[in-house]
Amino acid sequence: MHVFDPEILLTEKTALDPYPVFARMRALDPVHWNEPTNSWYVPTYGDVARLLLEESLSACPGDYTGPQRDEDRPEVEEAMAFFNSWMVFSDPPHQTRLRETVAPAFPRRSAEAWAGHVRRTARELLDAVGEGETDLFGAFAAPLAVRLTCAVLGVPEQDVQLVQDWSSRLIGFLSTPTADPVRARIALQARDDLRKYLQDTVIPGLRATDDERLIPLRGIAELNPEDALALFAQLLTGGIDPVASALATTADVLLRWDPAARAEALARRELLEAVVEEALRYDAPFHFVPRSTTVPLEIGGRKVPAGWRLVLVIASANRDEAVYEGPDAFRPGRSGPRHLSFGLGRHYCLAGLLSRVILREGVLALLERLDGTEARPLATVRTPAFGVTTWPRLMIAF
Residue 135 domain flag: yes
In terms of Cα–Cα distance, which of 380, 118, 390 is closest to 253? 380
- Whether 1 maps to a domain, the answer reads no
Q: Which of 369, 389, 372, 371 is CA-nearest to residue 380?
A: 389
pLDDT along the chain (398 residues), means of 10: 82 92 96 93 98 96 77 91 95 96 95 97 94 93 97 97 96 86 96 98 97 96 96 96 94 91 92 96 96 96 94 98 97 96 95 96 96 86 84 88
Cβ atoms within 10 Å, residue 127: 10
Q: Which residues contact 261 (CB under 8 A, 6 or more apart)?
A: none
Domain region containing 321: 6-397
- Residue 395: beta bridge partners? 135, 379
Displacement of CA 63 from its chain's centroid (Å): 21
387 is a domain residue: yes
Amino acid at 286: F
Question: Given this model, what pLDDT does residue 267 score?
Answer: 92
> Torsions phi, psi of 39, nearest 5?
-145, 155
Strand partners, 376: 397
Q: Between the CA atoms of 338, 319, 329 and 263, what dihedral angle is there, to the nearest 10 degrees?
A: 30
Residue 224: which CATH number? 1.10.630.10
Residue 349 located in a structural domain:
yes
pLDDT value of position 11:
92
Q: What is the pLDDT of residue 2?
A: 65
The answer to whether residues 89 and 99 touch, using CB atoms and an 8 Å cutoff, is no
The verdict on residue 38 lying in a domain is yes
- Model pTM above 0.75: yes
* Domain assignment of residue 299, yes or no: yes
Instruction: Look at residue 175 in the predicted model and tell me its pLDDT.
Output: 85
Per the structure, the count of domains in the chain is: 1
